[in-house]
Every structure is written in C-alpha cells, then in structure tokens.
Amino acid sequence: MKRKHFYFSGIFFLGLILCVFTGCSKDRDDEVSLLGEWVEESPVEGRTELYFYSANRVTMTTEGVVGDYTYRIVEESITLISDEESQGGGTEFYFRQINEDTFQIGNLHPSTPEDEPTFMIFVRKGNVTGDTDEA
C-alpha cells in the first residue's frame, strides 16, 4: 500500500513540474525572440533604439534621452514600466512581432489626441535598410 502511495505521489510531483515549465515557456519564447538591439525603421528612421535584455528588461534611447524599463507582453500588447514608476502599472502599447527581425508597436512618443494613432516599425540592428556588414 505504501509503495502504491509513493508511486502516485511521484507521478503527481512529476506532473506538477511539467505544468510549471510548460506554463512558463511562452514568456521565455518572447524574451528570446526580442533579445538584442532594435532600431526604428518608420515613421522616423533611426530616431528610437530599443535594447532588450534578459529578465524582461529594455533600454529605450530617443534623441539622446535614455530610459530603463521592465516589459511584459500579453497577447498583442506590451506594457513598459519605467524604473521610476516601478510601483505603478506602466504604460500599455499595441505590439505585434511580424517576424524574427521586425516588430510593430504603438507610438512610444506622446502625441496630441487629435492625431491618428501612429505605429512604429522596429528592425533588428544590422538588418536596417541600407546596412551592410560587407567590407
């Protein structure tokens, strides 16, 4: 009887571990696909650069101004939480990864309410139109 109990406990524990690792895989996939340096391609080429680090960290550089954020991706939105407002909920933007080297994000720069929503396109640095690695 004890042996049967031990067997079922082992199966339960193994199942629990598999559920935990399976449930976390989506976050890891998002992080791995974004790691590295990205540069704005449109609407203003080169204006904004994003550098995605491990542990869901990103640094944004725009016209010499640098900001550090924690990010969270859920479905088609990304939430950026600045280090200054770590207690707040952050700011949510539309987000869609087009392919491994391109993504679209809602306008990261403030605009007036009358303006139509603007989307920004980012490409992996080194894949910018006109960039060549050839000598």
- Residue 2, pLDDT score: 60
Domains of the chain: 26-124 (2.40.128.280)
In this prediction, residue 61 has a pLDDT band, given cuts at 50, 70 and 90, of: very high
Question: Residue 82: what residue type?
Answer: S
- Residue 110, pLDDT score: 76
- Residue 24, pLDDT score: 47
pTM: 0.69
Whole-number Å distance between alpha carbons of 124 and 41: 10
Q: List all residues 6 or more positions away from 102 whose beta carbon is below 8 Å from its beta carbon.
A: 41, 121, 122, 123, 124, 127
- In the structure encoding, which two tokens stand for residue 91, read together? 């700011």
Whole-number Å distance between alpha carbons of 57 and 51: 8
Q: CB atoms < 10 A from the CB of 44, how many?
A: 13
